[in-house]
Amino acid sequence: GRLTAAEADSDERAVEAALRPRTLDEVIGQERVREQLGLVLDAAKARGRVPDHVLLSGPPGLGKTTLAMIIAAEMEAPLRLTSGPAITHAGDLAAILSGLNEGEVLFVDEIHRMSRPAEEMLYMAMEDFRVDVIIGKGPGATAIPLEIPPFTLVGATTRAGLLPGPLRDRFGFTGHLEFYEPHELDGIVRRSAHLLDVQLTDEGSAEIAGRSRGTPRIANRLLRRVRDYAQVRADGVVTLDVAHRALDLFEVDALGLDRLDRGVLDVLCRRFGGGPVGLSTLAVAVGEERETVEEVAEPFLVRNGFLARTPRGRIATPAAWAHLGLRQPPGTPG
Ligand code: ADP
């Protein structure tokens, strides 16, 4: 349904939630994952069993949480959301697992950041639907086996390769989410504009889509900022001109690179002469966590041909120098 302006404005998070597709059919793009997942769910329904555990991998904002919610909705099962960093002790996980209802979907975001003991407890829970709860310490400690009703674990990670093999192997299905194509993002922007009652032209929508970094979450966020601009500085309609002016104001460049993306390329070219430079050095130079550079900025930069990973470190490509408006010195890599 449509949102009133007041509802839409009340809370950005509420808006994000309202824009989530509710069924697999409403999901735009990701054809392969959608078809694979659809099959897994239909088969489980036909057999009257809980679906196999599902691992979703891909950069932030591509739809992992959305798909977890859809899995629960399609199975008409309750959903419980948690995240790897929130599970610091095995006991935290035992508490969650023992509170699950039959058929429940447990979504663990950033599952690669769970603690080691919790991870080992999870192996057994995934395979045998039971855990051993350790009571007491030292030689007197005893393991109390605890049955868990059949459930479906949906794990999300920025890269499947970050997961230890034994954990990865216990998922029956892994869906790899890819960055979205401009025409798919265009579809997402139009759908969101419709839900938010925003009027936009074809060119306005295409402009937002083209600067969204291949990411639906960013497309929706840019749409909201452009809508603000259209309401305050224009007549409310998102045209190409309005989109241009708004996106320039918010420092989203023509190819959708954000501040972190540009920061990485800038440091790489200006400070390190185009590389090769190691990931840790690069991260320190941009003042970010290593993981953020590797899992958030790099996938987009690599995929769009601005940065290459080599055995000796990261290098800037000629496209990176050109995008920054810098002349690539002769003899530099890339
Ligand atoms: P992740 O969990 O991978 O970080 P989310 O599932 O939270 O990403 O998605 C971020 C936002 O993008 C959601 O609000 C959702 O509305 C939107 N979104 C994601 N994937 C799609 C899609 N395929 N079609 C439409 N909107 C999407």
| Tens-digit pLDDT profile for residues 47-98 | 999 999 999 999 999 999 999 999 999 999 999 999 999 998 888 999 999 9
DSSP 140: G
Are 121 and 130 spatial neighbours (Cβ–Cβ below 8 Å)? Answer: no
pLDDT tens digits, 179-189:
999 999 999 99
For ligand 1, whether the C-beta of 83 sits within 6 Å is no
How buried is 104 (Cβ within 10 angstroms: 0-12 exposed, 13-18 middle, 19+ buried)?
buried
| Substitution candidate for ligand 1 out of 20, 23, 108, 112 with most atoms within 8 A of CB | 20
Question: 132 vs 24, 107, 147, CA distance in Å?
Answer: 36, 21, 9
124-131 long-range contacts, Cβ below 8 Å, gap at least 24?
A: 125/93, 125/97, 125/153, 126/53, 126/153, 126/170, 126/171, 127/170, 131/93, 131/94, 131/97, 131/98
Cα(36) to centroid of ligand 1, in Å? 18
Rounded Cα distance, 202 and 198, in Å: 13
Ligand 1 atom closest to the Cα of residue 60 is: 4
| pLDDT at residue 4 in the model | 56
The pLDDT of residue 160 is 84
DSSP class of residue 300 equals: H
Distance from Cα 249 to the centre of ligand 1, integer Å: 25
Cβ–ligand 1 contact at 220 (below 6 Å): yes
Write down the pLDDT at residue 1: 44
Catalytic positions, please?
Answer: 64-65, 109, 158, 217
CB atoms within 10 A of CB 331: 7
Cβ 65 under 6 angstroms from ligand 1:
yes
DSSP three-state, residue 9: helix
pLDDT at 134: 81
Ligand 1 centre to CA of 334 (Å) is: 34
Q: What distance in Å separates the CA atoms of residue 290 and residue 276, rounded to the nearest whole number?
A: 16
112 lines ligand 1 (CB under 6 A): no
Contact (CB, 8 A) for 267 and 313 = no
Ligand 1 within 6 A of CB of 62: yes
Q: What stretches of 59-183 adopt beta strand conformation (E)? A: 79-83, 105-109, 130-135, 142-147, 152-157, 173-176
* CA–CA distance, 100 with 113 (Å, rounded to integer): 21
Look-up of token digits 């987009």: 300
8 Å CB contact between 177 and 20: no
Residues in the chain with pLDDT values less than 70: 1-11, 334
Q: 């430079």: which residue's tokens?
A: 277
pLDDT of residue 325: 94
**Residue 13: burial class (beta carbons within 10 Å; 0-12, 13-18, 19+):** exposed
Backbone angles phi, psi at 195, to 5 degrees: -65, -35
Report d(CA 88, CA 9) in Å as an integer: 36
∠ CA 142-126-41, rounded to 5°: 160
pTM: 0.91
Task: Give the whole-angstrom CA distance, residue 55 versus residue 176.
Answer: 8
